[in-house]
Structure 1
Amino acid sequence: MLTIINQIPYCVFMIPGTMLMTRIRPSILMPLSEFAWGIFTLTCAFAHSLDQMYAYRFMVGFFGAISYTGSIFIIGSWYRRPEMARRLGFYAVASPLGSMFSGYLQSAAYENLDGVRGLAGWRWLFIICSIITFPVALWGSIAIPDTPQTTRCILLKKHDVELSLSRMADAGHARKKVSMAGIRKALGGWQWYLFVFAWILLDQNEQMLSNAMTLYLKSYPDEFTVPQVNNLPTVTNAISVVTTLAASWYTDKSRNPFLPGLMASIMFCVSAYILVGWNVSLSAKFFAWFMGGSILVLQSILMTWATLETMEDLEVRAFVTGSMNCLGNALKTGTNIVVFPTSQAPRFRRGYIWTAITASLQLVVLISIKLMTIRDRKKPAPVVEETLKKEDVGDELAQEMPTNF
């Protein structure tokens, strides 16, 4: 229930928050949200009732809503097509690296801080997270550059800004504020439907990686220690880091996000099918859980692909990328309770069957996106009128003539 309480405001305010960044500087909005996130994370450490924890986790979800999509929005405003995948890839690996760090942090808190000053280890985790958050929020107010058209970042020199403006002007970027017209335009194109559906499937697939392995390990306390329960799942995150960086590098060099996305999806399908079978060796199960981390490649690939396909229109880009993460998380919050209930641990037969289905659909959607991009490339470019009406030419010439002619 705590997860649902946290995810509701996170999903509801994600799209409005991303849109708001076209009107309020991200260098103001994001650090303020981060600082508030840190305050309510700290209050979680001192909650004395479940109702208090519900309220605090709700506020944590609210102020964390724009963090991910806001960062994608900013990155997409500063880099050109051949540079996008690596930058989004570097950002995407922060998630599995963070999960790895939190796993080690949980182990350390359990072993060293549990009971210190009368506080349980889980309370110390909230305290540590908030302590890390406050300086990050302060740094964000200095380092977040907004967009090239609006930046006031003191870390950038004048010629840096001028260079960025010229680069992004060549790429077709324009400063706009999100409006209802922009939303209607986004809903009128195929990009919103296919990329949002692809991200929804990605979030469904990620459920196999979140708690399934951890709960399996916890089911055998005589075979796996508490540190092993926390640390072994981090191997999945390590594999996702390596595969994401490799896929991002390939995408920028080849300008082809389809191939690494397809390969990662195929590998994940194999992992899902192994776990559906279940009656395999422990080594095969570990292989499936570990190599299943390759699906996280799609976090950077899909965001890169969506950004590239909507790069010329800031309104459409903000709405599409915001919708992807918002709707994906919203549906995952609901389905996670149904398809991966803890009562079915450690096998999760229903969950693995569901994941095998969504993984197979992921392949279909990726192929569909590729086909739509091929179709768009074949469309003739709009013809631009190179001649003006005769009377317009006369008016322009009259305006340009010297008055003493």
Structure 2
Amino acid sequence: MTAKSSSIVTKVVTTLFWGDTSLEERRLLRKLDFFILTYSCMSYFFNYLDRAAFANAYVAGLKEALNLDGNQYNVLLSMASAGMLVGQVPNSIIIHKVPPRIWLPSMVIIWAGLTMAGAGCKTYGQLCAVRFLMGLAEASTYAGCIYVMGSWYKPNEIAKRTAMFTVAGQVGSMFAGVMMAAIYKSMDGRSGFAGWQWVFIIDGIITCPIAIFGYLYFPDLPENTRAPYLSEKERKFALNRLPPKREDGHSIAPWSLTKRVLGQPAFYICCGFSLLSAALQAYSVQGLMLLYLKNRKDIDGYTQEQINTMPLGIQAIGIVAEFAAAAAIDRFNLRLSTGFALLVIQLICTIVLLIPQMTVSGNLSALYIAATAYGINPLLYGWPSVITARGGDDAARSVIIASMVASGMLLYTFWGIVVYPANHAPYWRNGYIAMIVVIACLSGWIFLLRWLDDYTAKKYPADVKGASNGVEEELNYSSAEKGPVEQTRAL
């Protein structure tokens, strides 16, 4: 690559990620990205790694050691999900009393410790308790980090960051199997521990350093940050370039907070959007390709190793789709257009899958392309983060985001069992019809979200305009302002 072409690539990447901002603002954003995204992405990566540790330990000897059956395995998975579901809203409330730089890393330490404790479990009941408590601790990660990112980043900055954050979890799930297999192979029998026990122990140990990083460098919120890498001027600018906070914005008085959350349409519209978006990703999340390959009778030429590794391509396509969608949203403000493009692609894939006589290559192609549904994630949490930030009620915003996460999790407690049962493989007619219904509902729901965006922009016009001119002039941030309401509205 020549120096000229390298310079062009650098400029394109810089523009896509940091926008057309001044040098000073890019410097601020780079600091925030390094410290906020490093912690958030790594904690979510290890979150997925710790979840995967259980599945790998189960097939590596845990099943035999504790004499577990298949039904007990499903219950153990459900215990972790139940803990995460129960812990969403409490975590989103506690974070307003305990600083994020203390609370979030502390939860990482706790779930890492519980992961290691899994190695010492002798009974099914003990493992159930450990799994539930792990879920409670892990519940803090996704909603908590999304809340903090929404507290620092502007509307045209948030989608790319949420995409990177979500992708970190997908990367964790992709590498989990390889890492855990290597641990089992090299450590089985050492120091009197079985391979499955070492999976838990090492996974817990390697998770702890990210918590230490969080304690030292996670910046909390703009209004109370003491981050040593931000100057006083940068702290003022970081605070003033975002919507102003209301006086009781961090109040978690039960009755007041309940009214502020349930008394606004954002709660219902955003949670509904989360439910439908979770259903849109069902082909990939429910692992239909693996079930299809294992149950299609006329498949020839595929080894068992190929069948196990082919679904990894779904994660790769999903990652590309998330970054492409995030770039379209942040750079070109195409929220509505991006959403509809994803829905059209999913509809075409579903029509292909619905044809009973479709060839193997046709079905596999449709399942691969359907992974573009992951592209809804930057829209799913980026857009509501922008909308709920208006008005300056941080406590309500964090509870709404946590409720969105809980809504998606709640759907998956029954959606796969009812709509995509394994015994229907390789053809899920009811599931494909359900997907068409989901696409139709989402097509209308996106307009509801657009209405909510317009409604809040008109209700809080001062919150849309951006930073204080005084701070900008002092720091010479010539392009920090992005203009009137229309700049933040979706196209």
TM-score normalised per structure 1 = 0.84
- 1:196 and 2:274 matched: no
- Residue 333 of structure 1 is matched in structure 2 by 413
Aligned counterparts of 2:189 and 2:420: Cα–Cα separation in 1? 34
- Residue 386 of structure 1 is matched in structure 2 by none
Q: How does 1:357-372 map to 2 (within 5 A)?
A: 357-372=437-452
Shift in Å at residue 24 of structure 1?
Answer: 0.9
Aligned 8 A contact 2:148 2:221 in 1: yes
Aligned counterparts of 1:299 and 1:5: Cα–Cα separation in 2? 25
Aligned counterparts of 1:223 and 1:52: Cα–Cα separation in 2? 44
- Residue 235 of structure 1 is matched in structure 2 by 313
Q: How does 1:206-355 map to 2 (within 5 A)?
A: 206-210=281-285, 211-219=287-295, 223-312=301-390, 313=392, 314-355=394-435
Secondary structure in structure 1 of the residue aligned to 2:389: coil
Q: Indicate how the Cα distance of structure 1 residues 38 and 81 shifts in structure 2: closer, same or farther if over 3 A, else same.
A: same
Of the three residues 160, 168, 174, the one matched with 1:100 is 174
- Residue 156 of structure 1 is matched in structure 2 by 230
- Residue 147 of structure 2 is matched in structure 1 by 73
Aligned 8 A contact 2:318 2:372 in 1: yes
- 1:172 and 2:244 matched: yes
Amino acid at match of 1:335: W
Secondary structure in structure 2 of the residue aligned to 1:145: coil
Shift in Å at residue 217 of structure 1?
Answer: 3.2
Q: Which has the larger radius of gyration?
A: 1
Q: Indicate how the Cα distance of structure 1 residues 218 and 50 shifts in structure 2: closer, same or farther if over 3 A, else same.
A: farther
Aligned 8 A contact 2:340 2:443 in 1: yes
Aligned counterparts of 1:122 and 1:264: Cα–Cα separation in 2? 40
Q: Indicate how the Cα distance of structure 1 residues 377 and 157 shifts in structure 2: closer, same or farther if over 3 A, else same.
A: closer
Deviation sequence 1:21-72 (CA, Å, 0-9, x none): 1111011111111111111122334444332322221111111011000000
- 1:4 and 2:84 matched: no
Q: Indicate how the Cα distance of structure 1 residues 227 and 140 shifts in structure 2: closer, same or farther if over 3 A, else same.
A: farther
Aligned counterparts of 1:215 and 1:107: Cα–Cα separation in 2? 22
Aligned 8 A contact 2:283 2:371 in 1: no
Of the three residues 122, 126, 132, the one matched with 1:52 is 126
Q: Indicate how the Cα distance of structure 1 residues 141 and 225 shifts in structure 2: closer, same or farther if over 3 A, else same.
A: farther
Aligned counterparts of 1:323 and 1:14: Cα–Cα separation in 2? 7
Q: Which moved more, 1:357-366 or 1:150-159?
A: 150-159
Q: Indicate how the Cα distance of structure 1 residues 142 and 275 shifts in structure 2: closer, same or farther if over 3 A, else same.
A: farther
Secondary structure in structure 2 of the residue aligned to 1:54: helix
Q: Indicate how the Cα distance of structure 1 residues 184 and 339 shifts in structure 2: closer, same or farther if over 3 A, else same.
A: same
Q: Which moved more, 1:304-313 or 1:181-190?
A: 181-190
Aligned 8 A contact 1:7 1:329 in 2: yes
Aligned 8 A contact 1:18 1:69 in 2: yes
Shift in Å at residue 123 of structure 1?
Answer: 4.9
Aligned counterparts of 1:4 and 1:190: Cα–Cα separation in 2? 31
- Residue 403 of structure 1 is matched in structure 2 by none
Q: Indicate how the Cα distance of structure 1 residues 12 and 271 shifts in structure 2: closer, same or farther if over 3 A, else same.
A: same
Gaps of 5+ in 2: 1-74, 463-491
Q: Indicate how the Cα distance of structure 1 residues 32 and 290 shifts in structure 2: closer, same or farther if over 3 A, else same.
A: same
- Residue 400 of structure 1 is matched in structure 2 by none
Aligned 8 A contact 1:276 1:352 in 2: yes
Shift in Å at residue 226 of structure 1?
Answer: 4.8
Aligned counterparts of 1:102 and 1:219: Cα–Cα separation in 2? 25
Shift in Å at residue 330 of structure 1?
Answer: 1.6
Aligned counterparts of 1:121 and 1:351: Cα–Cα separation in 2? 38
Q: How many residues align?
A: 379
Deviation sequence 1:223-277 (CA, Å, 0-9, x none): 5445434432221111121121121122112333221122112212222333233
- Residue 160 of structure 2 is matched in structure 1 by 86
Shift in Å at residue 366 of structure 1?
Answer: 1.2
The share of aligned pairs that are identical, in percent, is 27
Q: Indicate how the Cα distance of structure 1 residues 90 and 222 shifts in structure 2: closer, same or farther if over 3 A, else same.
A: same
Aligned 8 A contact 2:79 2:128 in 1: yes
Of the three residues 105, 126, 133, the one matched with 1:31 is 105
- Residue 390 of structure 1 is matched in structure 2 by none
Aligned counterparts of 1:322 and 1:243: Cα–Cα separation in 2? 24
Q: Indicate how the Cα distance of structure 1 residues 229 and 57 shifts in structure 2: closer, same or farther if over 3 A, else same.
A: farther
Amino acid at match of 2:239: L
Aligned counterparts of 2:178 and 2:304: Cα–Cα separation in 1? 11
TM-score normalised per structure 2 = 0.70
